[in-house]
Amino acid sequence: MTGAVVGAAPGVQAHLSLRHFLLALAVVAVWGTNFVVIRWGLNQFPPFLFSALRFTFALVPALFFFPFPRVAWRTMALYGVFIGVGQFGLLYLAINGHIAPGLASLVVQTQVFFTIGLSMRISGERVQPFQWLALLMASAGIATIASHTDGSTTPLGLGLVLLAALSWALGNMAAKRSSPSNMLAYVVWSSAFALPPLFLISFLFEGWPAMSGALLHADGGAWAAVLWQSWGNTLFGYAAWGWLLARHPAATITPMALMVPVFGMSASAFWLGEPLPAWKLAAAALVMGGLGVNLLWPKLRQRWRGR
């Protein structure tokens, strides 16, 4: 997930230096390859327990370094539940045998279109023609994936990831209503609201024997996957992304997020042996093309009008 800065703060630079570009690239590489780490962690942790552990270590010890955000706790609680249970709980459940991690990294990016739809429903704005084109392209990509479900990608897995994307969008709406001044602190403290439902769902549906067995017998690699989720993907990712957004226009930084599925699919192919047939590459091109049109078209139109 990415954030945005409002207005032009002092010291904001339009062009990325090499160091800042490499930092942005490192963030999207972490976010993309994280889908492989999820698959590794799921080898030893059941999905909802894995998600609960992720948010446990995102909260502790970071809560000692970040003050509680000055926002309404109800909207922050909604954010925690939508992101913790809806986005990551369902995403982990999907990757646990129902969809290939590389495809999951692509499909979950449809949260952009869910977010747009929810925002326009709330604000009453009309969908612009370029947004219809972007949505059509992304929908064609999802339809391509749906028509090629097999043992590694099932209709259930695709549906779960789409629900995860919708939950991410609902979390975006909650965060927008909260308007936190420090998004990293907001993410850290919202984790407290994700933990009770995640542990409860794990206890009810995965069972105490599976929970206790995983906690007692998980090896160092599994715990490293948990910490990578919590500290690398969440704390480093948000801190670095926010730091970059404070120094550069959002339009300069946010297009880098289009690289997340590239890293996700490439890493899954390299480390997990996930095949990349022509249909999968075509679906990726359609979905990422739709994301690119939605993200870049307003900026390009502004440049053309300025000539």
Distance CA 258, CA 292 (A): 7
Q: Which two tokens stand for residue 155?
A: 């209709």
In a domain, 194, yes or no: yes
In a domain, 108, yes or no: yes
Residue with tokens 């998600």: 51
Q: Which two tokens stand for residue 43?
A: 């080898």
In a domain, 8, yes or no: no
pLDDT > 70: percent of the chain? 94
Distance CA 124, CA 258 (A): 27
pLDDT tens column, 260-277: 999 999 999 999 999 999
In a domain, 295, yes or no: yes
From 25, 37, 41, select the one nearest 257 (Cα to Cα): 25
In a domain, 57, yes or no: yes
Higher-pLDDT residue of 307 and 240 is: 240
In a domain, 196, yes or no: yes
> Residue 11's CB: how many other CB atoms inside 10 A?
8
Give the Cα-Cα-Cα angle 244, 249, 254 (nearest 5 degrees): 70
Is the model's pLDDT at 25 over the cut of 80? yes
Are 256 and 24 in contact by the 8 Å Cβ rule? The answer is yes
Distance CA 149, CA 44 (A): 26
In a domain, 12, yes or no: no
Q: Which domain holds residue 62?
A: 18-305
**Range 75-85 average pLDDT:** 97
Confidence class of residue 151 from pLDDT cuts 50, 70 and 90? confident
Q: What is the pLDDT of residue 164?
A: 97
Is the model's pLDDT at 10 over the cut of 70? no
Compute, in degrees rounded to 10, the torsion defined by CA atoms 196, 185, 115, 92: -40
Is the model's pLDDT at 7 over the cut of 50? no
In a domain, 294, yes or no: yes
Q: How many domains does the chain have?
A: 1
